[in-house]
Amino acid sequence: MKGLVLIVILLVSFLICVLLYSTISSKDRTNEIHENLEKLSKVKTIQECDPLAEKTDRIPNCDGQICIDSGSNYGSLMASCIAGFGARNNEENVCVDSERNKNICKKIIKIYPEVSKMPVPNMDIDKCSNNIEKECELEYLKKATPETQVNIECSSYEDLDDRDACFFELAIRNNDYSLCSTIDEGRGFVNKLDQAKCYYLLAIRNNNEKICEMIENKSSAEECKKALGLFKNNDVGVCNNISLDYYGSASKKACLMFFAIYKHDLTMCDGKEIYDTELCKKVVRLPMK
């Protein structure tokens, strides 16, 4: 009996050790991914993108105790890295490089089976190259500052979700609410939210109730006007008592983000309770119309 108890104790101890090791290992992987993503966002040359993107793609993606081999993110990591470099250096044609984009696709074919242990899907290199270019252009638009040159034709996107994302980013960048209507609200619930979010952000940024009225969903339109009315007192304390809806999620954090946008206050965008720091900064930086 004592021998059985000892075996059980040893087994439990072993499982605890495995669990602790797995937890630490998972955190280490997550931290390494975050560190690499930070480096990818600050490269000084495009040549730095490739080794960092490959290294990051080869790290298993961990969610709690579960880590899954990926091998499918290299293309997106490269597109984002190249776009970020272009936006920071005002190189609007940075994504247009057929040879480089084809080489990215060829490397995807090499990495995917090595990491995922799955056969690579059939891939048309020319189509893949075009997809990399379009993904890069969309990332460039997202990362662009008001000073960055942008010449992107959103209607050229074959993928309708990418096209809508392009129009959304272009509307925000140009502070042009008329572009919000080009988001195809008829295709589904998510697209309606995207269009409403577009109007909502620009209404708050420009303190303009007329833009709120363009939101198709009446309750969202009324909430947009309600927010403008509350913010006129210039008291951020209102966010302690209300939750404003943002992209289908009501929260105090959304209220604080909208208040920062209303006040054109970049320092508030850095607050820990802000819903989306980068989006907040992007909208606050917009020139007034």
Asked if pLDDT for residue 265 goes beyond 70, the answer is yes
Residue partners of 208: CB distance under 8 A and separation at least 6: 202
Six token digits for residue 105: 């696709």
32 — pLDDT class (breaks 50, 70, 90): confident
pTM score, whole prediction:
0.75
pLDDT value for 24: 39
For β-strands 249-251 and 66-68, DSSP reports them as unpaired
Evaluate the CA torsion angle 125, 131, 134, 140 in order and state its sign.
negative
The 3 state secondary structure assigned to the chain is CHHHHHHHHHHHHHHHHHHHHHHHHHHHHHHHHHHHHHHHCCCCCHHHHHHHHHHHHCCCEEECCEEECCCCCHHHHHHHHHHHHHHHCCCCCCCCCHHHHHHHHHHHHHHHHHHHCCCCCCCCHHHHHHHHHHHHHHHHHHHCCCCCCCCCCHHHCCCHHHHHHHHHHHHHHCCCHHHHHHCCHHHCHHHHHHHHHHHHHHHHHHCCHHHHCCCCCHHHHHHHHHHHHHHCCCCHHHHHCCCEEECCEEEHHHHHHHHHHHHCCHHHHCCCCCCCHHHHHHHHCCCCC
Where in the chain are the domains?
36-151
pLDDT, tens only, 76-90: 999 999 999 999 999
Dihedral of the CA atoms 35, 37, 39, 43 (nearest 10)? Answer: 180
pLDDT value for 126: 93
135 — pLDDT class (breaks 50, 70, 90): very high
Mean pLDDT confidence for 17-25? 42
CB 171 within 8 A of CB 214: no
Mean pLDDT confidence for 177-205? 81
Instruction: Quote the CA–CA distance of 206 and 181 in Å, as a whole number.
Output: 17
254 — pLDDT class (breaks 50, 70, 90): confident
